[in-house]
Amino acid sequence: MWGIVSALMLLGSGGRLSPAFFLDGDDALRLQQVRDFLAGQGWFDLHQYRIAPPEGVAMHWTRVVDLPLAATILLLRPLLGQAQAEIVAIVAVPLLSLLCAMALMARLANRQFGARVSIVAAVLVAAAIPASFRMMPLRIDHHAWQFVLALVALNGLFARSARSGGALAGLALALALAISLESLPLAVIAAGLCTLRLLRGQGDWLMSYLASLALASFGLFLVTRGLSDLAQHCDAMSPVHVAALLWVAAGAVIILPRLRKRPPVVSLVALAMVGLGALAIAGAAAPQCLTGDAFAALDPLVRKVWLDAVAEGLPVWRQEAGLGATMVLLPLFGLIACLRLWRRAKDGEQRALWLDYALLLGGATVIGLLVARASGVACLFAAVPAGWQLDEQFTRWREDRLLLRRLGRVVLMLALLLPGVLVAQAMRVARPPQKVAVTSAQACNFAQAVPSLARLQRQTLLAGLDIGPTLLVTTPHTVIATAHHRASKAMRDVLDAFLGPDDGARRIMARRGATLVVICPSGSEAQVYARIAPRGFMAHLAAGKAPAWLEPVPLPAESGVKAWRVRTR
C-alpha cells in the first residue's frame, strides 16, 4: 500500500521535484539549514545568516529533523553529486515518514482486529489528508516526524506493559517536543489519560510516562540545544519547560508510590499540588510563556497581515470546505467507532481500552479543530477504529442482497475514506466555483527564473515573505526577511516597504543594504499587499509602474517572476 500511495504522490507531482518547487517556505528553509550544517555550521548554531542582514536570525528549529536529510545527502553525494543527492533526499525522506506512519497504524490495528483491518488502517493514513499532505515528496519540514512520533506514543499508550509502554510514550513525545512545542497539548492529553489509569489503580503508567518524558526532554535539550542559549523562549523547549517537567516527574515518582494504599482521590490531590508547583516555576522563570501565545512578541502589523492569514494555524471554521470536512468527519467516524466498540466489548478490560482510545482521540480532535496543522494527529488516531468500521461495512456490503442498501454502504465507505473530497464536490455543485488564491510557488515558475537570478552578483534582496526561502535555497543571495516569526523586525520592514510609498521602500532597502527587488505579481502574497495598499509599492510593481529609481532585470517572461535593481546613478 505504501508503494502504491508513493507512486501516486510521485505521479501527482508532475515531475516538479527540485528545490525550486517547494510549496512551503518552511520546507525550503529546512533544506537551507541542512546545507549550512553540512557546510560546517555548528550543531548548536541555528542562525540563518542570510536572513535579516546584518545580524541574521536565530531560528527556533532543531537539528533532529535535519539528521535524516543530512544522512541521505552525505550517503549519496559521492555517487550522485550534491544537487541530485538533495533531490533524492527531499523525495525519499518524506515518503519514509509516510511508511513509518502506515506501519505504526497497521501494527496497532493488527493487534486489535487482525491483518485485514491493518491494511485498511494503513490506507486511511493516506486518506488523512491533513497528515499525509505533509508526508508527500518535498514536504521535509518537521510536521511529518511529529505525526510519526505521535503514533509511536499511541502504540506505547496501548502496550501490554505499563512501564515499557509509558516509557515509550514519554520518550516519543519528548522527542516530538524537542522538534516543536506544537506537541505540548498532546503530551498533556497523554498525561491526562495516564492519570485516569492511576484512578483505576494502574499508577505505573503515569510514573513511567512522566519520568521518561522529563528525563528524555532534559537529555534532548542538552544534545540538541546545548548550553549556549539558555534564554527562556516560548516557541521552543527552554530551561523553564525542562525544569517544570522534571519537577512534575520527581513529584509523581516520589509521592505516588507512598499513596498506593490511600484512596485514588488523595493521589489526584497530590498531583494537583505538584502541577501548581510546576506553574509556579514557569511563572517565576518565564511569566510571558504562561499566556500560551508563542507569538506574543510579534509585531502587531506582522501578526495582522501575515500570522492571521496562515491557514494551518487557523481553526476548522476558517478552512476551505474539503479540508474542514476531513478535519471533522474522519475523527468523528473514529469516535463513533470507538463508541460502538465500547458497547460491544466482552469484558471490562476491552471497555476500558476503547474508552481510553476515545478520550485520546477526542482530545486530539478538539486541539485539531482549533489549529488546523494539529488535526493530522486526530485524523491518524482515527485510522484504527475507522478502519474497523470500514471493514465491517465492506463485509455487510458483500452479504447484503438489497441493491439500495448496497449502494448506501458504498456511499458510507467512500465517506469514510474520502470525506473531504465528497464535501468539496458537493460544495462545487451547490455554488459556482470561486477564484482561488494561489501561492507564489504555484503562480510562478522559479525554476525558470533561478538561472538568471543566480548569475547576478551576490546581494541582498527585498522579496515577499513567502518567496524569500525559495530564493535563499536556489540562489546565493540574502533576503531581508522570510515568513519566520523570530525575524519580526525584518518582517515588519518588508511589510512597510511593500505596503508603503515608493520612497519609503527605497529608504528601507538602503537601511538594510538591499539592491534588488524580486516579486511574483500573480501570487497570493503580492495580491494581498496590493489589495491592502492599492497605492503602495507592491501595487505599483505588480501593475508594471516601477519607480524611476529602479530598472528592470531581464528574466524569462514565462517564469512570471519580476525583478528590478536599484539604479546606481
pLDDT tens digits, 411-433? 777 777 777 767 766 766 666 65
What is the separation of C-alpha 562 from the centre of its chain, rounded to a whole number of angstroms?
Answer: 31
The pLDDT assigned to 427 comes to 66
**Interval 306-311 mean pLDDT:** 87
Count other C-beta atoms under 10 Å from residue 233's C-beta.
21
Q: Are 488 and 297 in contact (CB under 8 A)?
A: yes
Q: Is the dihedral of CA 381, 315, 496, 455 positive or negative?
A: positive
At 461, which amino acid appears? L
What is the b/e burial string over 4-42, where b = at least 16 CB atoms within 10 angstroms of the residue's CB? ebbeebeeeeeeeebbbbbbbbbbbbbbbbbbbbbeebe
The pLDDT assigned to 235 comes to 87
What percent of the chain clears pLDDT 70, i.e. is strictly above it?
97
| Residue entry with cell 544522512 | 71
Phi, psi of 51 (to 5 degrees): -125, 145
d(CA 225, CA 178): 9
Q: What is the pLDDT of residues 77-108, one digit of tens each?
A: 999 999 999 999 999 999 999 999 999 999 99
N residues, the chain: 569
The pLDDT assigned to 78 comes to 95
The pLDDT assigned to 425 comes to 67
**Interval 157-183 mean pLDDT:** 95
d(CA 407, CA 164): 46
The pLDDT assigned to 197 comes to 94
The pLDDT assigned to 73 comes to 97
d(CA 482, CA 340): 48
Nearest to 497 by CA among 479, 509, 514, 481: 509
Give the residue with greater pLDDT, 410 vs 158: 158
Give the residue with greater pLDDT, 214 vs 56: 214
Under the banding of pLDDT at 50, 70 and 90, the label for residue 434 is low
Q: What is the pLDDT of residues 127-147, one digit of tens each?
A: 999 999 999 999 999 999 999
Under the banding of pLDDT at 50, 70 and 90, the label for residue 410 is confident
d(CA 541, CA 521): 8
CB-neighbour burial class of residue 565 (10 A; exposed 0-12, middle 13-18, buried 19+): middle
Crossing angle, helix 184-199 and helix 203-224, to 10 degrees?
Answer: 160
The pLDDT assigned to 261 comes to 84
251 to 198, 206, 378, 395: CA distances (angstroms): 15, 11, 30, 50
Please determine, for residue 437, whether its predicted confidence score (pLDDT) is greater than 70. no
Under the banding of pLDDT at 50, 70 and 90, the label for residue 44 is very high
Lowest mean pLDDT among 257-261, 407-411, 434-438, 481-485: 434-438
User: How would DSSP label each residue in 475-526?
Assistant: SS-EES--S-GGGHHHHHHHHHHHHS-HHHHHHHHHHHTEEEEEE-TTSHHH
364 to 108, 321, 559: CA distances (angstroms): 18, 20, 42
Q: What is the pLDDT of residues 490-509, one digit of tens each?
A: 999 999 999 999 999 999 99
d(CA 434, CA 437): 9
Nearest to 365 by CA among 311, 316, 422: 316
Q: Which residues, 6+ apart, have CB-to-CB distance to 190 below 8 Å?
A: 153, 157, 169, 173, 209, 360
CB-neighbour burial class of residue 499 (10 A; exposed 0-12, middle 13-18, buried 19+): buried
Mean pLDDT of the residues in the chain: 91
Under the banding of pLDDT at 50, 70 and 90, the label for residue 203 is confident
Q: What is the pLDDT of residues 205-222, one digit of tens each?
A: 999 999 999 999 999 999
Give the residue with greater pLDDT, 434 vs 371: 371
Residue 513 three-state SS: coil
d(CA 522, CA 538): 11
Please determine, for residue 534, whether its predicted confidence score (pLDDT) is greater than 80. yes
The pLDDT assigned to 407 comes to 78
Nearest to 361 by CA among 340, 383, 394: 383
Under the banding of pLDDT at 50, 70 and 90, the label for residue 405 is confident
Lowest mean pLDDT among 54-68, 242-256, 391-405, 493-507: 391-405
Under the banding of pLDDT at 50, 70 and 90, the label for residue 436 is low
The pLDDT assigned to 431 comes to 66
